[in-house]
Amino acid sequence: MVAYLDHAASTPVRPEALAAYTAALAHAGNPSSVHRHGQTARAQVEEAREHLASVLGCEPIEVIFTSGGTESINLAIVGLYRAAVESNPARNRIVVPEAEHHATLDTVLWLQQHEGAVIDWIPVDEHGRIRMDALEATVQREPHTIALVTLLWANNEVGTIQPIDEVAALAAEHLVPLHIDAVSAFGHVSLNFAQLRTESGAVGGSGLVALSISGHKFGSVPGVGALVVSRQAHLEPLIHGGGQQRGLRSGTLDAPAIVSMSTAALVVQKTHEVEHSRLSALRDATILRIQELIPEAVLSGDRATRLDNNVNFTFPGCQSDSLLFLLDAHGVSVSTGSACQAGVAQPSHVLLAMGHDERGASSALRITLGHTTTQAEIDEFLAALPEAVDRARRAGTTA
């Protein structure tokens, strides 16, 4: 018996998305070609764009297909930053919380080192929730010098959902462009781009203007993602060439992957309500059982305002990589949640930002659920956990 409980890393391809992918692969033709083969391919892409736009609550023209979450985030951050600086060189501040994904952190640090960006770091509280008081103070201070605000809708490691409505309203009020990284959130929260824009009072190229998603996080084939870019946003492209997709992302469109992603998104939309309550119940039961089995284990992230598929505990006295190894030996795949460098689990920067010391930040396990998760898999994990914790504790934390 194996248990795959690392859906936040990548969730299995949904059967519908796989079928749509293989069917689309059978077509020859470049979506940019003018002949009928090209037109067929183009039709696949545009139909997929419409489907995805309907799910995301935006206009089809606002969907820019990319190679995945990291590219979407890079395009949003670098694109918004460069457009802002080009319009006004003094507009070089990037406002970003400390517990973001590396796709964001490394991108803003790169802009700091190479293009003169000034980073305003926003702290998070002990649950990983963004400190709204700090964000308000930062955004209110000379908002016309801010190129963009970027943040996660929900933290990918500890699952805490951010007060996105408040952030969007704040950005709109001060006429600051906002990008939301919804890679971990999409499929697990109710999300509507236009509604959020309207209700937050966004106008023109400010307020919520961009939102990133990644296909393989919700059941598409991997290697495809999207950036929603408001038609009023000012954003420079990173990839130049044939001028596809509003000139914001040149390059031949991967029609089969795009079709696969839009199919997965439609399934997500159709099943969201039922799946949300199923996963929430599984998540809550899992949290309770872990607390019963390992009373010293500490839940990370907000208890209530968290993703329906996220469970994250620290296990005092254990090292994550020992736990991971021992559970893997039992066929249970979980994650430390933190980024890897050459396969080494680093202390989680998210847990560090939440106030853990290095040892605590190296003792976390992230268990994430998804559309294929069964109670039997959870039971398999829970059965293996106590012995793994016991052994990991004996192996110590000194290495």
Partner 1 sequence: MRVLAAMSGGVDSAVAAARAVEAGHDVVGVHLALSRMPGTLRTGARGCCTIEDSMDAQRAATMLGIPYYVWDFSERFKSDVVDDFIAEYQAGRTPNPCMRCNEKIKFAALMEKAIALGFDAVCTGHYANVVPDAQGNLELHRASAWAKDQSYVLGVLTSDQLAHAMFPLGDTPSKDLIRAEAAERGLSVAQKPDSHDICFIPDGDTRGWLADKVGISEGDIVDTEGTKLGTHEGTPGFTIGQRKGLHIGTPAPDGQPRFVLEIRPKTNTVVVGPKEALDITEIAGTSYTWCGLAPENPEQEFVVEVQIRAHADPVPAIAQLVGGELVVRPTTPLNSVAAGQTAVLYVDTRVLGQFTIARTVSDLNVVATA
Closest separation between CB of residue 362 and partner 1, Å? 8
* Token duo for residue 16: 């519908």
Task: Provide the 8-state DSSP code for 347.
Answer: P
Closest separation between CB of residue 6 and partner 1, Å? 15
Binding site for partner 1 (CB under 8 A): 321-322, 324-326, 328-329, 341-346, 391-392, 394-396, 398-399
Burial 118-139, CB ≥16 within 10 A → b, else e: eebebebbebbbbeeebbbebb
Closest separation between CB of residue 361 and partner 1, Å? 13
Q: Residue 258 to residues 20, 123, 250, 350: CA-CA distances in angstroms?
A: 10, 36, 15, 32
CA dist 131 and 133 (Å) reads 6
Contact 134, 107 (CB under 8 A): no
Which CB sits closer to partner 1, 26 or 344? 344
Directed axis angle between helix 375-395 and helix 255-293, to 10°?
60
Task: Provide the 8-state DSSP code for 161.
Answer: B
Which CB sits closer to partner 1, 211 or 392? 392
Which CB sits closer to partner 1, 5 or 326? 326
DSSP 32-73: T-SSHHHHHHHHHHHHHHHHHHHHHTS-GGGEEEESSHHHHH
Which CB sits closer to partner 1, 115 or 358? 358
Closest separation between CB of residue 343 and partner 1, Å? 4
Which CB sits closer to partner 1, 113 or 341? 341
Which CB sits closer to partner 1, 141 or 394? 394
CA dist 150 and 100 (Å) reads 9
Closest separation between CB of residue 286 and partner 1, Å? 24
Query: Among 229, 236, 232, which Cα is nearest to 87's?
Result: 236
| Cβ atoms < 10 Å from Cβ of 394 | 10
Name the residues annotated as catalytic: 340
Closest separation between CB of residue 184 and partner 1, Å? 24
Contact 220, 260 (CB under 8 A): yes
Looking from the CA of 140 toward its CB, the CA atoms found within 13 Å total 6
CA dist 136 and 119 (Å) reads 15
